Amino acid sequence: MKPSKSLLMVFLLPILMIVLPAVLLLIIALQVSQEESLQNHQLQSNDLDTLVQMATFDRQLGDLHQRMTDVLSRVEDINLNAMQRYAEYGVINQELTQISNNIDRLATSPLIFDLSQESADALQRVFHQYRSFISMANEAATLNQGEPSFYLQEAQHHFTTFNLFSQQIFEELTLRASARHRESYSALTNTRASILWIGLGLFALLISAALFAAWRINRRLVTVGDAILALSDSRQPLPDLQRVERLSRKHTGPLQRIAVALLSLRDTEQKRRHAERQVHQLAYYDSLTGLPNWRLMKEHLQHSLETNSQTNTYGALAYVDVDEFKRINDSIGHQAGDELLKQMAERLQNLGQQAATIGRLNGDEFAIIIDGLDSDKLKAAEKAELFASQVAHALTQPYCLDGHYQFLNVSQGLVLFKGIDDSVDSLFQYANSAVHFAKRAGQNSIRFYDPAVQAQLESRTELERDLRLAIENKEFVLVYQIQVDSQGSAIGAEALIRWQHATRGFVSPGAFIPLAEETGLIVPIGNWVLHAACEQLVAWQADEHTKDLVLAVNVSAKQFQQPTFVDDVAHALEISGASPHKLKLELTESTVIGKIDDIIARMHQLKALGISFAMDDFGTGYSSLQYLKRLPLDQIKIDQSFVRDLHHDADDMAIVETIIAMGRSLGLNVIAEGVETMEHWKCLNDHQCHAYQGYYFCKPVAAAEMASYCLAPPPTLT
């Protein structure tokens, strides 16, 4: 049987449970009623026949008695011979026998028997007595053995008795027949009523059974229907389907197949939802921290714009960036860096700001959306700044990683929003520009977006574009600032880069070098400087006055940390033919922060080529002192910030003296930059500084002008 037909039988079962038994009961009731009616009709017919026979019997017996009396009373008057009389009497005797048989049958009829067995016996007895006297009268008349009148009188007496008794019985039979008819009708009525009540009871029982079956079926169908509805609504959690599981265990046939199909559908839907959640998690959430990612944060911000527009309140977007996270990540390892980001995410989530949505954009950058600050812009800004301060406080607390404490600083950019006219992309851009200027302002700084800031950002974007074009078009040039010894004689120079912009003219390194550092363009720029410096060394080696000059080249931390840096330097020396002993690489303190063993190994590789090293801007950092004795340095350079007020500031003088003494103790050459006056030179010379660089001796000039300075007599220290 097909499942559809089986299900049809399930739906028709309650109807069949009522209709089929009801039809069967109706047929049985009709048969019983018909049999009762037939019995009642038969009873009435038999009683009526008995009454008719009784009435006919009285009439026949009366006629026979009259004819018998006439015959016997006229026996002498009628000239009949013996044979004729015998024949006549024989006929009468036959009629008496027939009447006797009728009386016997009448006596055994149900009506008389029901009336009284004694009445039937008495009726037979009186008739037989009457017949006896009739027979004796007949014999007497026939055989001439006596007077038949005597016997005839006795027969008349018994006939009268029989007639009276017969009439009495007839009346009683009539009454009894009427009673029997009423009793039969009453029994028939009672039987029909019983059948009706029994039918109604059975019908009620069938309806109850059908209703129970329908309830059971309906319950199962409702269970199936509820399961289907629950499985079809993807917004609701999946049901446990315990009832469906019981259906699959306790039933067979279509219900079991439906239950098994629903359970299979639930498992499939569970797998689908799990896969959908995984896809949604990957699409909208950060895999490392579990926070909303850039895509979901944009949707949240769009929703916040609509919400704050309806409530007429300001919201804020905070852009959080970790300062120098790459340096921290490189020093502790990427795995520990990931753990640090996880702890940062936990701290942001534990701030307790209910109206804040926190997400991770990428790397070490987080975004926070704050709704419903205030309807007043100034108060909203104050609340946003207070929240940013809480963020800074939470994120700058010590982090414990593998038993070691790490510290970090964050910069935050804030932008307020209120209406739906604001663009989501623009708000993120504004917040990013604000955090950019927060970084410039110093560690743990907080800055609000300002149109002027945006103008600077656009200018920076334009400058970055031009800087990339400058690398392609080779718009850079090198200038050189002379370095002298204590006698004022030229011993070398520092190569300084200048950008010769097509429309802006010469662009200061302070304007584009930080941008190149941030964008990574410092690597190709540094490679160009390295090749140009080597070519300049070759040109100086051809001149008697410049062949002994040592050229110092600044190397950025990103350039030095390139895996191919040693090979790049060797390649530049090889293709130019420059002497590696005339090349000096100046490193900043940030260059040697991180994996110190790798840095030292790389420096030794370069030292093996004949290259010397100088530590630039010495004293401005905080980590180089502990590594100073391990680094293969040749020279340390006193930063010009300590030289500028040297002869006026006792603290600067103490620092300079300490650096010179430290260099002497470690066997390092010491050079001071920023020497702009005779007083600077004299003071440094008095403390036995080895070399000097600054405007007092020479401004940064082109290579040709640099050669002329070498031809000029050195200045005199007075």
Query: Which of the four CATH numbers 1.10.1040.10, 3.40.50.300, 3.30.70.270, 3.30.1490.20 does domain 285-449 have?
Result: 3.30.70.270
Q: Which CATH architecture fits 462-709? A: Alpha-Beta Barrel (3.20)
CA angle 638, 644, 650 (to 5 degrees): 85
3-state secondary structure of 263: helix
**Residue 594 CB neighbour total at 10 angstroms:** 19
pLDDT average per 10 residues of sequence, the chain (718 residues): 45 60 72 69 67 67 69 56 66 73 70 65 72 71 61 71 70 71 74 76 76 74 72 68 69 70 74 74 79 88 86 90 79 81 88 78 88 85 87 89 83 87 85 86 82 66 88 90 90 92 84 86 93 93 87 92 92 93 89 78 92 85 65 90 86 89 89 91 90 91 83 73
- Report the amino acid identity of residue 239: P
3-state secondary structure of 499: strand
Asked if 547 contacts 589 with a C-beta cutoff of 8 angstroms, the reply is no
Q: Name the token pair of 164.
A: 């009276």
pLDDT reported for residue 4? 42
Asked if 550 contacts 492 with a C-beta cutoff of 8 angstroms, the reply is yes
Q: Give the C-alpha separation, 149 to 105, whole Å.
A: 31
Give the global pTM: 0.48
Q: Give the C-alpha separation, 123 to 117, whole Å.
A: 10
Domains of the chain, by residue range, sit at: 3-217, 242-281, 285-449, 462-709
Burial annotation 567-593 (CB, 10 A radius, 16+ → b, else e): ebbeebbeebebbbebbbbbbbbbbbb
Return phi, psi of residue 368, to 5°.
-130, 125
Return phi, psi of residue 488, to 5°.
90, 10
